[in-house]
Amino acid sequence: METEFKYLERLSEIYPTIDKASTEIINLQAILNLPKGTEHFLSDIHGEYESFSHVLRNGSGAVRKKIDDVFGHTLGKEDKRELASLIYYPRKKLDYVKSIGSDTENWYKIMLYRLIEICKVVSSKYTRSKVRKALPPAYAYVIEELITEKPEVLNRGAYYDGIVNTVLEIGTAEKFIVAIAELIQRLVVDHLHVLGDIFDKGSGTHKVMDDLCKYHSIDIQWGNHDTIWMGAASGNVTCIANVIRNCIKYGNLDVLEDGYGINMLPLASFAMSVYSDTDCESFVIHDMKARDTETILEMKMHKAIAIIQFKLEGNLIERHPEFNMEQRRLLHRIDYENKTINIDGKNYAMNDVDFPTVDRKNPYQLTDKEKEVIDKLKLAFLRCEKLQKHTRFLLKKGGLYKTYNGNVLFHGCVPLNEDGTFKKMDIYGKEYRGKGLFDVLEGYVRKSIMSLDEKEREQSGDILWYLWNGSGSPVFGRDKLPIFERYFIDDESTHIERENPYYSLIGNTKIADMILTEFGLNKNGHIISGHVPSGEDSNPLKCDGKVIMIDGSFADKTAVGYTLTYNSYGLTLTEHEPFESAESLIENNDDIVSNQIVVEQVFNRILVGDTDNGRRLKENIDDLKKLINAYRLGTIIEKDK
């Protein structure tokens, strides 16, 4: 009772009178009856900025749907496509229109009217206060006038014409068009969920992160490619070696050097010196087109950092027997004379045993030069302001899972045994499984960055590496990551990654319901994840739509990708063909080819009151009613009149 009284006293500082508390109750009650905002789900971006940026701009088809809803058959297909391209890329589209010598003034006027109509519709599901906060300050008043119905104005057509004509006359049409187009993008999607793997493969990881940092409402579920970068940002040298090797492998050193300003000269100098005469044929660069001097150097750097990585991983695995990864320590299993390696009791031929820095008697020991290189790289990662900023953002907005509006979101899987029970994992002497495993692992991720205890940060950094490729990792979901085998063993049977039983069992309703219950949800909810293993069948809907696996395939230029939207009418899965380019879309109005599949449609439109936020608002209303009652009983005195 005393705690409640103190809380109400604090609340009275915000709402010091009955009138102000009553006004807030009316406001909150009105919000509860608005349609639920659109949630947008993306996964597996992998640094592919152009594709990601476009899907973000078009809201996985949400913008096109609004255009169809507003204009129906009153606009032709080509006009709708042109309007969509303007909303997606307003600045570039305006530049293109001017470059082809169109009647720009007439075109501006037509587009302004069309944009205003779209804006009226997308803003209608929000309160005026929320819309006002989203308005660009320079044009807030004018846009608000244009999108707000004014029944008191007798000749509304003339009223709106007057505003639009003035915008054209004073030469601000272009800025105004950009402002409204960006506002539409902002209002079409209320909240963004990113289901992991933002990093690696593509060349625009830093740009993707910059855009996400500016997004108005977002949460992130970390993927294994994200945790390895977070581990690198924390200074874990094993994670750093993995990140650098991945960047070199995919031809993305620019992400490190230009995007994040991390100097690769120490590694380049080391590779030129120590690996100058070494066989590096197995270390080709992704999409390598020519063997020029720069590419040959990158191949040497690739091999140099890979060997450093295998050494560091061997030492980390030895420090953590609880990880059960002894079989992944491979350097001491090499027979150099016969050029073979023994894995799981079987000998395999190796295509390369030319390792100038490996001491055959002590294969996991770094040479002095290797240690010097990795120490310099560690310092560069720790001092990289931009990477540290992005990592803090991932911590602030992210986690290993999230429950949101009745659904549980995560990147990979909930580790299971073959019999469908939750798989246990030993973490520093204690066993965890199910939701408890997610919770404790997430705690270690945060400690790796935030802890003031150096030993705790080191232990936590090792957990981040385990999340990247450990068999019990919920964001990895496989038995091994056969990097060594893919470089050095031609026998492809050693390259196979076996999926966690989760992927074969999740089509079973009992298993899906068990997982939903484990995360505190009822059986009407959904499991939404990314990170679909390559061996998994291509259908993203499992268990009659209770389980939805969306891999955006942003990094695969030939594969179909999937994203998801959840609005007041239900869940819609969008199937995307690979994205060509923004230039093609702007010039030819060629939007990304997509098909929409209704996963679940509701009979009664979902309102804010039916959501998690609605429940919080209802709690606020109850608290305000208690405050009003306290005012009337005189237990709390109104502050002013």
pLDDT tens track for 243-254: 999 999 999 999
Question: For residue 281, with 0-12 CB atoms within 10 Å meaning exposed, 13-18 middle and 19 or more buried, which class applies?
Answer: exposed
The confidence score (pLDDT) of residue 136 equals 84
Instruction: Specify the DSSP class assigned to residue 285.
Output: P
The pLDDT of 296-319, averaged and rounded, is 96
Quick: pLDDT tens for 32-79: 999 999 999 999 999 999 989 999 999 988 899 899 999 998 999 999
User: Checking DSSP bridges between strand 346-349 and strand 218-221, what pairing results, if any?
Assistant: unpaired
Give the residue among 356, 349, 203 at the shortest CA–CA distance from 280.
Answer: 356
- For the chain, percent of residues with pLDDT exceeding 70: 95
Quick: pLDDT tens for 514-553: 999 999 999 999 999 998 755 455 788 999 999 999 987 7
End-to-end CA distance of the chain: 27
Name the residue with tokens 């999108």.
147
Higher model confidence: residue 169 or residue 422? 422
The confidence score (pLDDT) of residue 596 equals 83
- State the angle between helix axes of 454-469 and 237-249 in degrees (0 to 180), rounded to the nearest 10: 40
Q: With 70 as the cut, is the pLDDT of residue 400 above it?
A: yes
Residue 533: CB partners within 8 Å, gap ≥ 6?
A: 477, 478, 497, 499, 503
The confidence score (pLDDT) of residue 369 equals 97
Query: CA 323, CA 280: separation in Å to the nearest integer?
Result: 31
Query: CA 379, CA 401: separation in Å to the nearest integer?
Result: 31
The strand pairing partners of 430, in sequence order, are 427
Angular region, 344: left φ>0, alpha ψ -120 to 50, beta rest = left
Question: For residue 96, with 0-12 CB atoms within 10 Å meaning exposed, 13-18 middle and 19 or more buried, which class applies?
Answer: middle
Backbone angles phi, psi at 342, to 5 degrees: -100, 115
- For the chain, percent of residues with pLDDT exceeding 90: 70
Query: CA 305, CA 459: separation in Å to the nearest integer?
Result: 22
Number of H helices, E strands in the chain: 26, 17
Cβ atoms < 10 Å from Cβ of 426: 14
Query: CA 21, CA 249: separation in Å to the nearest integer?
Result: 60
Name the residue with tokens 């971006």.
45
Query: CA 15, CA 8: separation in Å to the nearest integer?
Result: 10
Residue 21, amino acid: A
The confidence score (pLDDT) of residue 502 equals 96
CA distance readout (Å), 249 to 175, 246, 312, 495, 565: 42, 5, 19, 17, 34
Residue 152, amino acid: E
The confidence score (pLDDT) of residue 292 equals 63
- Mean pLDDT, all residues of the chain: 91
Residue 598: CB partners within 8 Å, gap ≥ 6?
A: 570, 571, 572, 573
Higher model confidence: residue 608 or residue 103? 608
* Under 8 Å between Cβ of 196 and 220: yes
Least confident among 50-64, 174-188, 488-502, 543-557: 543-557
* Under 8 Å between Cβ of 566 and 39: yes
Confidence of residue 641 (pLDDT cuts 50, 70, 90): low
Residue 343: CB partners within 8 Å, gap ≥ 6?
A: 327, 330, 333, 485, 494
Question: For residue 618, with 0-12 CB atoms within 10 Å meaning exposed, 13-18 middle and 19 or more buried, which class applies?
Answer: middle
Instruction: Specify the DSSP class assigned to residue 327.
Output: G
Give the residue among 120, 144, 125, 131 at the shortest CA–CA distance from 71.
Answer: 120
Query: CA 43, CA 39: separation in Å to the nearest integer?
Result: 13
Q: With 60 as the cut, is the pLDDT of residue 347 above it?
A: yes
**Triad 393, 397, 403: Cα angle to 5°:** 165
**Triad 43, 48, 54: Cα angle to 5°:** 80
Give the residue among 369, 361, 365 at the shortest CA–CA distance from 275.
Answer: 369
Quick: pLDDT tens for 580-603: 778 888 888 877 767 888 888 888
Residue 121, amino acid: V
Name the residue with tokens 């990662």.
381
The pLDDT of 9-36, averaged and rounded, is 94
pTM (predicted TM-score)? 0.93
User: Checking DSSP bridges between strand 398-399 and strand 39-42, what pairing results, if any?
Assistant: unpaired
